[in-house]
Amino acid sequence: EVEIPEDHPRYQSLLTRHRIEEGVEKGITSKQGLIAEGRGESFDYLLGEETLPSADAAERAAAAQLLLAEHAVLSVNGNVAALVPGETVALAEATGADIEVNLFGRTEERMRAIADHLREHGATNVKGLAADARIPGLEHERGKVDEDGIYDADVVLVPLEDGDRAEALGEMGKTEIVIDLNPLSRSPRTAAIPIIDNIIRAVPNVTEHARDLADASRDELEAIVADFDREAVLDDAERAIRDV
């Protein structure tokens, strides 16, 4: 166990790195996931390691969209499971969404390890293991989803998703919410609601907004989604990075 001093100026970043390391050791996170983490960290550094007001607006719109959904699904991969397992369960509870394990490099061992890890953090119904449907346009393994999960969903939260799959889900007519620190990555660029923020900060903040909006009317929720400007969010994050 590595002790990270809480007063270290880069405490959050070190903690994140440590959780990913542990994820790899437990067979939850892939080696590819380690590389993705490094890429994310560099963007977070440039964004000042904090949530931009524009990202907060996206997080509020995401909460409204999840609450409006007929069937929302939160997609979980190896990095998400390592970084925010309990926070993902809390978001599912706050919005009535399902949780589905969905991996770019799918192996049955990793699927099971992640599902177990999520259950240890309070998840009661973890989807993704049935794999009885396919996302059209993707090669067999990469397209596997659950028929009563992502395949059936109208709204999907895909944090740290690969660009190809984000596009394929969009083509299925799903409303996509993507969390990704890189505003230039294809995944947030294809999303209806791109959240340019660290998943560590983003998921709890979407939950907070969802709790705050729990008693809002459908009209209010629809207005939040309608007023949301995805281009402004992407431009603002890019500007913040360029103006460092």
Determine, following the binding rule CB under 6 A, whether residue 43 of this chain makes contact with ligand ATP: yes
Helix/strand/coil (H/E/C) assignment for every residue in the chain:
CCCCCCCCCCHHHHHHHHHHHHHHHCCCCCHHHHHHHHHHHHHHHHCCCCCCHHHHHHHHHHHHHHHHCCCEEEEECHHHHHHCHHHHHHHHHHHCCEEEECCCCCCHHHHHHHHHHHHHCCCCCEECCCCCEECCCCCHHHHEECCCCCCCCCEEEEECCCHHHHHHHHHCCCEEEEECCCCCCHHHHHCCEEECCCHHHHHHHHHHHHHHCCCCCHHHHHHHHHHCCHHHHHHHHHHHHHCC
Nearer to ligand ATP, 68 or 165 (CB): 165
Determine, following the binding rule CB under 6 A, whether residue 228 of this chain makes contact with ligand ATP: no
Determine, following the binding rule CB under 6 A, whether residue 199 of this chain makes contact with ligand ATP: yes
Determine, following the binding rule CB under 6 A, whether residue 77 of this chain makes contact with ligand ATP: no
- By CB atoms closer than 10 A (0-12, 13-18, 19+), residue 27 is middle
Which residues participate in the annotated binding site for ATP?
A: 17, 39, 180-182, 186-187, 198-199
Stretch that binds ligand ATP, among 6-14, 36-44, 90-98, 114-122 (CB under 6 A): 36-44
Instruction: Please choose which of Mg ion, ligand ATP, none residue 37 contacts, taking the beta carbon within 5 to 8 angstroms, the exact cut-off set by kind.
Output: ligand ATP
x/- string (CB under 6 A) for ligand ATP, residues 100-129? ------------------------------
Contact yes or no for 164/138 (Cβ under 8 A): yes
Among 187, 203, 206, 234, binds ligand ATP (CB under 6 A): 187
x/- string (CB under 5 A) for Mg ion, residues 64-103? ----------------------------------------
Among 51, 75, 187, 207, binds Mg ion (CB under 5 A): 187
Contact yes or no for 72/96 (Cβ under 8 A): yes
Q: What are phi and psi of 193, to 5 degrees?
A: -130, 100
Site for ligand ATP in 141-170 (CB under 6 A): 160, 162-163
Q: How many residues touch ligand ATP (CB under 6 A)? A: 19
Q: Which residue has the tokens 């907060």?
A: 56
Determine, following the binding rule CB under 5 A, whether residue 51 of this chain makes contact with Mg ion: no
Nearer to Mg ion, 163 or 204 (CB): 163
Determine, following the binding rule CB under 5 A, whether residue 190 of this chain makes contact with Mg ion: no
Shortest Cβ 197–ligand ATP spacing (Å):
7
x/- string (CB under 5 A) for Mg ion, residues 135-174? ----------------------------x-----------
Contacts of 43 (CB under 8 A, 6+ apart): 181, 182, 241
Q: Which residues here bind ligand ATP, judged by CB under 6 A?
A: 36-37, 39-40, 43, 83, 160, 162-163, 179-182, 185-187, 198-200
